[in-house]
Amino acid sequence: MWTIPNQITFFRIILIPVFIIVFYLPVSWNHFGAAFVFWLAAISDGLDGYLARRLKQTTAFGAFIDPVADKLMVAAALVIIVQDYQNVWISVAAFAMIGREIFISAIREFMSSHGQRDAVAVSSLGKIKTAAQMLALIGLLWRPTYDIPLILFDFPQTWFMNLAYLLYFVATILTIWSMIQYFTIAWPVLKGKK
């Protein structure tokens, strides 16, 4: 149970309260600090999976706890940006993303109980959705109010925020699309057909 990948996953879970506390600190760098903690969690997500395969330390517990840690961190970030932005479109998209995770978890549990767990395994579309979602959340959490240097030139922060909004929109579309895909795969079993 205490393999290196699982320790990294536990570290990611510990980062969740740290992330929330940093965001609400009464300091000027709270948004950047929270975005950095979220980035660190996102990096650790990729690292634990890579090390589990590389070191041949995949475990049943790791397969269970890793997606739980991911969903908890993303849900915390979505709740925070909903409160921070107080914008209907940010809120609707956040609801779709959180709702999708609940829906997919229920579908996977149902399919697993019918011996069809592999039919609803993580797809490449799901991985693209996760990447877009993580990058969007980092940008929306940071929410810089100053110019950000890009390579050798200075651009106003609007390019950064526009990119974050675009990725958030893409992640929302992919969230809905992947949910439809999973539902389509599970539908014959849900209807009672093999």
* pLDDT tens digits along 5-21: 889 999 999 999 999 99
Tell me the residue range of the domain where 177 lies.
4-190
- The three-class DSSP label of residue 28 is coil
Which secondary structure element, helix H or strand E, spans residue 185, and what is its range?
A: helix 158-190
pLDDT for the residue numbered 149: 56
pLDDT for the residue numbered 2: 82
Cβ partners under 8 Å of residue 161, min gap 6: 139, 143, 144
Contact criterion met (CB below 8 Å) for 136 and 164: yes
Check pLDDT > 50 for residue 176: yes
pLDDT for the residue numbered 69: 92
Question: Bigger pLDDT: 162 or 79?
Answer: 79
Question: What average pLDDT does the segment 171-193 reach?
Answer: 87
pLDDT for the residue numbered 185: 85
User: From CA 90, how far away is CA 87, in angstroms rounded?
Assistant: 5
User: From CA 85, how far away is CA 141, in angstroms rounded?
Assistant: 10
Question: What is the band of 74 on the pLDDT scale with cuts at 50, 70, 90?
Answer: very high
Question: What average pLDDT does the segment 161-190 reach?
Answer: 91
CATH of the domain at 175: 1.20.120.1760
* pLDDT tens digits along 89-148: 999 999 999 999 999 888 888 888 877 767 676 778 878 999 999 999 999 999 887 655
* pLDDT tens digits along 23-44: 999 998 999 999 999 999 999 9
Q: What pTM does this model have? A: 0.88
Report DSSP letters for 38-100, one per residue: HHHHHHHHHHHHHHHHHTT---HHHHHHHHHHHHHHHHHHHHHHHHHH--HHHHHHHHHHHHH
* pLDDT tens digits along 146-156: 655 555 455 55
Residue 13 region by backbone torsions, left for phi larger than 0, else alpha for psi between -120 and 50, else beta: alpha
Total domains in the fold of the chain: 1
- The three-class DSSP label of residue 154 is strand
pLDDT for the residue numbered 187: 87
Average pLDDT of the chain, as a whole number: 87
User: From CA 21, how far away is CA 109, in angstroms rounded?
Assistant: 33
